[in-house]
Amino acid sequence: MNVRALLLALAAAAAATPPAQAQLRASPSIGGGRPAPSGAQRSADFIVAVVNSEPITNTEVRTRLVRFERQLTQQGAALPPRPELTRLVLERLISEKAQLQFAREVGIRVSDAMVDQAEQNFARQNDMDVAQLRRRLPAEGIDVTAFREDLRNQLLLGRLREREVDQRVKVTDQDVEQYLREQAASTEGPVEFNLGHILVAVPENAGEQQVREARAKAERVLERARAGEDFALLARESSDAPGAAQSGGLMGLRAADRYPPLFVEAVQALPQGGVSNVLRSGAGFHVLKVVDKRRGGLPGATVTQQHARHILLRPGPQLTEAAARERLADYRRRVQAGQADFAQLAREFSQDASAQRGGDLGWASPGMFVPEFEDALNALSPGQIADPLVSRFGVHLVQLLERRTAALSPREQREAARNVVREKKLDEAYAQWAQDIRGRAFVDLREPPQ
């Protein structure tokens, strides 16, 4: 893994993964949060860098380093040398600190309601409720207040990126045409996979008996998968990978170089529908299924679409965000109790153009909604209504009506191509912007992290 790939992975981990998310289901120990240090460790902590008068401690670097190492290990990726990874983690923390300071300077705020929502989503992804999560965090040495503050910081960074980068990136028709021409002229595009993934986790320092039992479980899962059982149901039942209960083990269509080499080597010779042998990594045992496999850089011919409806309330002088959430929670209770009709409530109260259609948003492909809205939809089964959620547009009550796999029309393929180009431009623009923010910060490097 090269330095650029590591930096991108660090950025993705910081932006998309709350503390300990990758470990909650991966092993009996949560890990990856802020560990409760011993007295000796506390006294040994020291400042490794100062960013515009705010310190970064050795403990912060070690905590992030352990979290990221576990994420890489769980994915089956090879770890770079410890000194190189430590240097990159410190640089990432410096960049984050400078961005958070800038966010406060320009007046960006994240409400307690948004942190509550992020905490609920995190708990749901790990098959528990918030009360269970808050009981488990201290048992694993993670302070709940610090955990929520980490969530707040990642939300703040996301809002900052939306304001400073996302809104400035434009994709023209000429950009899309150029991309399509390049793909059409390519005689051999990259191989893309959508893999189903089941992880049977092996705890750190596991004994031989535990390892044998985990391998035996993985072999049983493999046998059932090759016998034709529904892989998504197997993943929900057996996988320790984060989010498996919601995703059915699907990792999403992506180029081969975005998967761990261990996974690519195991599936590259398999046909679509093929199931790998049991793989061993530092996180445990893996079973993979090739759900989709294609060559070429153009967006796929098929995509999973979702049909949803929502009610939107926009907070303002007459309606606080908390009051909007409470009102929508009441609508949810009434609909679930059969005392009200979702579509009728949307027609009466929703504050966007979908109100006249009963809140119906039609069929949507991935990437059409803002991330927090799409994340809520992905966690639902057809017919379910999510808890009220907050986005930059307001507070939503969203219901998933149907989910399907559909072929993309030529127009939809152009739109998917536009999204590919936009994502590439966003990555480039964000990298440049983050570098500029880092360059304007005063950074005093003290003792090297240990």
Pairing of strands 389-391, 360-364: unpaired
CATH architecture of 302-407: Roll (3.10)
Looking at the predicted structure, is the pLDDT value of residue 255 above 80?
no
Looking at the predicted structure, is the pLDDT value of residue 11 above 60?
no
What's the rounded Cα separation, in Å, for the pair 16 and 22? 11
Please state which of the ranges 149-158, 233-242, 250-259 shows the lowest mean pLDDT.
Answer: 250-259
- What pLDDT score was predicted for residue 188? 58
Looking at the predicted structure, is the pLDDT value of residue 341 above 80?
yes
Query: In the predicted model, what is the mean pLDDT of the chain?
Result: 81
> Using an 8 Å Cβ cutoff, are 385 and 325 in contact?
no
- What are 393-411's pLDDT values in tens digits? 889 999 999 988 777 777 8
Take residue 150 and report the two structure tokens written for it. Answer: 């980490």
Q: 281-309: buried (b, 16+ CB within 10 Å) or exposed (e) per residue?
A: bbbbbbbbbbbbbbeebbbeeebebbbbb
Neighbouring C-beta atoms of residue 389, cutoff 10 Å: 25
Please state which of the ranges 92-106, 180-194, 245-259, 429-443 shows the lowest mean pLDDT.
Answer: 180-194
Give counts: helices (H), strands (E), the chain.
17, 11
User: Of 129, 111, 63, 121, nearest to 90 (Cα)?
Assistant: 63
Looking at the predicted structure, is the pLDDT value of residue 5 above 70?
no
> Using an 8 Å Cβ cutoff, are 125 and 247 in contact?
no
Take residue 440 and report the two structure tokens written for it. Answer: 């304007």
- What pLDDT score was predicted for residue 242? 72
- What pLDDT score was predicted for residue 295? 64
- What pLDDT score was predicted for residue 205? 81
> Using an 8 Å Cβ cutoff, are 353 and 347 in contact?
no
Look at the alpha carbons of 72, 76, 77, 81 in this order and tell me if their dihedral is positive or negative.
positive
- What pLDDT score was predicted for residue 312? 94
Which SS3 state, helix, strand or coil, does residue 61 take?
helix
What's the rounded Cα separation, in Å, for the pair 256 and 267? 10
- What are 163-213's pLDDT values in tens digits? 888 888 899 999 988 888 877 666 555 678 888 899 998 887 888 899 999
What's the rounded Cα separation, in Å, for the pair 98 and 101? 5
Please state which of the ranges 110-114, 275-279, 338-342, 433-437 shows the lowest mean pLDDT.
Answer: 110-114
What's the rounded Cα separation, in Å, for the pair 288 and 278? 8
- What pLDDT score was predicted for residue 2? 41
Looking at the predicted structure, is the pLDDT value of residue 19 above 50?
no
Please state which of the ranges 307-311, 381-385, 403-407 shows the lowest mean pLDDT.
Answer: 403-407
- What pLDDT score was predicted for residue 101? 94
Portion of the chain with pLDDT greater than 70, in percent: 84
- What pLDDT score was predicted for residue 35? 43
What's the rounded Cα separation, in Å, for the pair 225 and 235? 10
Please state which of the ranges 6-20, 189-203, 274-288, 370-384 shows the lowest mean pLDDT.
Answer: 6-20
More confident residue, 141 or 63: 63
Q: Which segments of 282-432 are extended strands (E)? A: 284-295, 302-313, 360-364, 389-391, 394-407
Partners of 248 in the β-ladder = none
> Using an 8 Å Cβ cutoff, are 160 and 99 in contact?
yes
Take residue 49 and report the two structure tokens written for it. Answer: 């860098």
* Amino acid at position 76, single letter: G
Portion of the chain with pLDDT greater than 90, in percent: 30
> Using an 8 Å Cβ cutoff, are 251 and 194 in contact?
yes
- What pLDDT score was predicted for residue 76? 61
Q: CATH: 2.60.120.380, 3.40.47.10, 3.10.50.40, 3.40.50.620. Which one for 194-295?
A: 3.10.50.40
More confident residue, 257 or 401: 401
Neighbouring C-beta atoms of residue 251, cutoff 10 Å: 19
123 band by pLDDT with thresholds 50, 70 and 90: confident
Looking at the predicted structure, is the pLDDT value of residue 240 above 70?
yes
Q: Does the structural domain 3-164 have CATH classification 1.10.3720.10? A: no
What's the rounded Cα separation, in Å, for the pair 221 and 223? 5
Q: 55-68: buried (b, 16+ CB within 10 Å) or exposed (e) per residue?
A: ebbbbbbbbbbbbb
The CA-to-CA distance between both ends of the chain, in Å, stands at: 23
Please state which of the ranges 30-34, 42-46, 90-94, 289-293 shows the lowest mean pLDDT.
Answer: 30-34
The H-assigned helical ranges of 75-172 are: 82-105, 112-125, 130-139, 144-164
Mean pLDDT, residues 424-443:
90
316 band by pLDDT with thresholds 50, 70 and 90: confident
Looking at the predicted structure, is the pLDDT value of residue 47 above 90?
yes
C-alpha dist (Å) from residue 120 to 22, 85, 389: 16, 31, 10
74 band by pLDDT with thresholds 50, 70 and 90: low
What's the rounded Cα separation, in Å, for the pair 433 and 138? 37
